[in-house]
Each structure stands twice: as C-alpha cells, then as structure tokens.
Amino acid sequence: MEYSRPIYLDYNATTPVDPRVLDAMLPWFTEQFGNAASRTHLYGWEAADAVAHARQQVARLIGASEKEIIFTSGATEANNLALKGTFEALGAQKNHIVTVATEHKAVFDTCQHLEALGAEVTYLMPASDGLITLEQLENALRPDTLLVSVMYANNEIGVIQPIADIGRLCRERVIIFHTDATQAVGKIPVDVARDNIDLLSLSAHKLYGPKGIGALYVRKGIKLTAQLDGGRHERGLRSGTLNVPGIVGLGKACQLAGTSMLEEEKRLSILRDRLENEILNAVIDTHVNGNRTYRLPQTTNISFENVDGEALLMSFNRIAVSNGSACTSALIEPSYVLKALGVPDDLAHASVRFSLGRFTREADVEETIAHVRDVVERLRR
Ligand SMILES: *Cc1c(COP(=O)(O)O)cnc(C)c1O
C-alpha cells in the first residue's frame, strides 16, 4: 500500500530547494568545480566570479555592500561567529551582553557559553505576546554593555521584534547590534542601513536555498575575531574552501526572494489568515500564541486546550507540522519559547506551529483545516 506524503507546513524548519536555485547550482558541482581561491587558471577564476556574483545578490537583498558579507555554513555558525567573535575581540573592555529568552538555541546557548568565559548576560523576558519593549531594553543597558543580540523574527511564533528602534538605540549608545534574521530574510523586507544593524545572520535553507550555507553580514568597521584558523578566506574571518555550489544557490535564492517577496507575502498572509481563522472558528478552545500584528506573514502557532499534546502530534498524519518541543533523553520538554510567554506546560505540548511557504496551495490549507478539526474532535471525544 502506498501512502501519499503529508502536506508540508513546516517551512520554518526548512524549505525545499527551489528548482531554479538547483539549476543555478548544478554546473558548479561538475564542469565548473574549481576552487574559488585558485588564482592560476580558469577553473579558479570562474568559481571566484560566481562567488562574487552571489555575494552581490545576498548583499542586495539586505541593503548591504558585498564587502560586508561573510559566507558561513549556516546561521548557527554565523551566530557563533557574531557573538564569540565580538566577545573575543572586545570582551576585555566591555563584557555585558543583552539578549532575549526566546532566541534560537544558536544564540541562546552561545550566550551561555560566553557566560562561562566571563561574559555577563541579561536575558530579557518578552511579554505574553512574545515582544520585548524598547524601555525594557533601555533599562537593561549598562556602561559596560558590549553587544545586544535580538532576533528579527521568531521561528516558533513568528513575532517580529522592534528591530529598527533597537538598532537606533544601540547606535546612540555605541553598542554593537546583532540580529539573527534567519526567519526574516526573504520573507519580509530587511535593510541593515534602515535598521542600524551591525551584524546579521541568515541561512539559505530557510529561503529555498540548500542546507549547509549561510552568511554573516558584518558592517564595515566592526571588529570580530575569527573562530576558524586556516587559509584566511573571507577576509580572514572564516577560513575554509568556499562552498561554491552552496554560495551560488544562496545567491540565487536571495535574488528570487527579492523579486517575489511582496507578492508572496500577500499571498501567504491570506492563506495563513484563512487557516488560522477557520481553525479558531471550527475548533473551540483554541488560541493563537504571540502578537498577531507584528508577525511573519506565513506563520501561526495555535494552542489546543483539552487535548493531549503527544496524541495530537501523533494523530496529524496528513500534515507535517511541529510544536517546538525538544526531546532531552527520555523526556519531552515543552517549547522554551512558549514557556517564556507564560504558556503552561500541558498547553505548550498541545500547541502547533503551522508555517506556510512558496509551494503551499489553497487546497492544502482547506485539507489542513478539515484534518485539524477531525483530529481534535476525535481526541476530545
Ligand atoms: C534555522 C534557524 C537557525 C539555524 O540555522 P542553520 O543554518 O540551520 O544553522 C538559527 N536561527 C533561526 C531563527 C533559525 O530559524
């Protein structure tokens, strides 16, 4: 018996590679396989040209200059380089870092690592809607604050922090501002100049590019200590032979996002709103987690009361969704993001993130609404 694949509504976890991105990448595996650092022959020159072109495509999407883009293996590495690199370069002068309790683990755990090395870290608690306020941040700043790291948009609930205001405040106080913009880039307009961002992390596989490639934007003049020693690639900030096919794919993905973003934002927000509203209407005792205004266009996180969370996820066999729980050995820990919003453990377990994307169709949404209603009704009986 053959099973059809479930409807994919987990685009915040990863996206498929867009076929146009794959087409752009393919020659760089085979005929044009050169090392971008080879300076003595055509193979190297053409690879270096392709990397330069991709660097422009990435820079253009976020309003940066191509000299400010450092390719990494993804956003995890970009976050590590941003935080550890800043602390290592300047931590002897100032060692206080401000971040938020709902950051992705790649920022949160890096901050914990830096605490063990002598950094003092303040973890801001968001309000129950997932947002922090400017006053809250302002009150946390100290004369010895080196760095503020606040994610642009949250991967689990989609809320968008007041990044432009945070950037302005940090610039006034001469504090370095890093943002993990992995969920924002390609979905909503991001501009490092408008928002006064000094360091920004992004990842290709969240915007229809391949896994294992990303970038850190480093504003001109910002000092960082490299975390990998070696051939001094990427202006000495990230040694290692460049992943040319991956970089070409990231560049193409950024170019496509730039041309389709506004249209996609509109289309997906209509589909997301329909999904959300119809689930809330069809299933009683449900509510949305996080601020519904300052939010990504294609994410909704919904809590279902009076159902067992594990049974709920197990019963969703027609859709691929997630709920932010983490398996720590035998225990299933509820999402720390929802916990930080004050959602009780049992309700956090029974919360579901639906994240839509480029290949989500109206029929997928209709089928999902019916499936969710059927599953929750059955479980509640
Ligand atoms: C996916 C994600 C990351 C990690 O990116 P990788 O490229 O997979 O390392 C970091 N931050 C956020 C907000 C993400 O959504």
SS3 annotation, 50-66: HHHHHHHHHHHHHCCCH
Token pair 């694949």 in the structure block, residue: 5
Phi and psi based region of residue 98 (left: phi greater than 0; alpha: psi -120 to 50; beta: remaining): beta
* pLDDT level of residue 328 (50, 70, 90 thresholds): low
Distance CA 65, CA 7 (A): 39
Q: Is residue 74 part of a domain?
A: yes
- Same domain? For 178 and 309 the reply is no
CB 101 within 8 A of CB 126: yes
Note if 327 is an active site residue.
Answer: yes
Q: Is the CB of 154 under 6 A from ligand 1?
A: no
What is the tally of structural domains in the chain?
A: 2
* Ligand 1 within 6 A of CB of 155: yes
pLDDT tops 60 at residue 230? yes
- Domain annotation covers residue 2: no
Contacts 24+ apart (CB under 8 A), 266-269: 266/297, 268/297, 268/298, 268/356, 268/357, 268/360, 269/297, 269/298
Judge if the beta carbon of residue 104 lies within 6 A of ligand 1: yes
How would you write 171-200 as a 3-class SS string? HHCCCEEEEECCCCECCECCCCCCCCCCEE
**Ligand 1 contact, 161 CB (< 6 A):** no
Q: Which tens digits make up the pLDDT trace of 339-373?
A: 999 999 999 999 999 999 999 999 999 999 999 99
The one-character DSSP state at 335 is: P
Tell me whether residue 1 is exposed, middle or buried, using C-beta atoms within 10 angstroms of its C-beta: 0 to 12, 13 to 18, 19 or more. exposed
Asked if residue 160 lies in contact with residue 153, where contact means CB atoms within 8 angstroms, the answer is yes
Q: How many residues does the chain have?
A: 381
Ligand 1 close to Cβ of residue 100 (< 6 A): no
Could you tell me if the CB of 76 is within 6 A of ligand 1? yes
The residue segments making up the domain with residue 103 are 19-257
* Mean pLDDT confidence for 235-257: 98
Rounded Cα distance, 55 and 238, in Å: 15
111 and 196 part of one domain: yes
Contact 140, 124 (CB under 8 A): yes
The one catalytic residue among 111, 170, 254, 327:
327
Q: Do 59 and 183 have their domain in common?
A: yes
**HSE-CB for 323 with a 13 A CA cutoff:** 27
- Side by side, the strands of the sheet bearing 351-355 are 286-288, 299-304, 351-355
Ligand 1 close to Cβ of residue 151 (< 6 A): yes
Domain check: are 232 and 268 in the same one? no
Q: What pLDDT score does 130 carry? A: 98
Give the residue from 257, 286, 312 where a domain finishes: 257
Mean pLDDT value across the chain: 96
Q: Which atom of ligand 1 is nearest the CA belonging to 103?
A: 13
User: Which residue's CA is minimally distant from atom 9 of ligand 1?
Assistant: 76
Instruction: Choose one of 222, 239, 257: the last residue of a domain.
Output: 257
Nearest CA to ligand 1 atom 12: 182
In short, whether 158's Cβ falls inside 6 Å of ligand 1 is: no
Q: Is the CB of 74 under 6 A from ligand 1?
A: yes
207 and 310 part of one domain: no
199 and 337 assigned to the same domain: no
Same domain, 174 and 316: no
Domain-embedded: residue 164: yes
Q: Is 327 helix (H, G, I), strand (E, B) or coil?
A: strand
* Residue closest by Cα to atom 14 of ligand 1: 182
Cβ distance 189 to 259 under 8 Å? no
- Residue 357's nearest CA partner among 61, 19, 9 is 9
Same domain, 178 and 265: no
Q: How far apart are CA 284 and CA 280, in angstroms?
A: 7
Q: Note whether 66 and 115 are within 8 A (CB).
A: no
Whether residues 293 and 188 fall in one domain = no
- CA of 14, closest atom in ligand 1: 1
Shared domain for 195 and 290, answered yes or no, is no
* pLDDT over 60 at 78, yes or no: yes
Tell me the pLDDT band of 329, cut-offs 50, 70 and 90: low
- How many whole angstroms from 156 Cα to the centroid of ligand 1? 11
Predicted confidence band of residue 313 (pLDDT cuts 50, 70, 90):
very high
d(CA 325, ligand 1 centre) in Å: 16
CA of 13 to the centre of ligand 1 (A): 8
Q: How far is the CA of 190 from the centre of ligand 1 (A)?
A: 17
Is residue 244 domain-shared with residue 124, that is, in the same domain?
Answer: yes
Q: How far is the CA of 180 from the centre of ligand 1 (A)?
A: 8
Output the domain CATH number for residue 152. 3.40.640.10
Looking at residues 51-79, what average pLDDT do you find?
A: 98
Give the mutation target among 10, 17, 182 for probing the ligand 1 site: most ligand atoms within 8 A of CB.
182
Residue 116 sits in the same domain as residue 246 = yes
State in Å: Cα 2 to ligand 1 middle.
33
pLDDT digit string, tens, across residues 253-304? 999 999 999 999 999 999 999 999 999 999 999 999 999 999 999 999 999 9
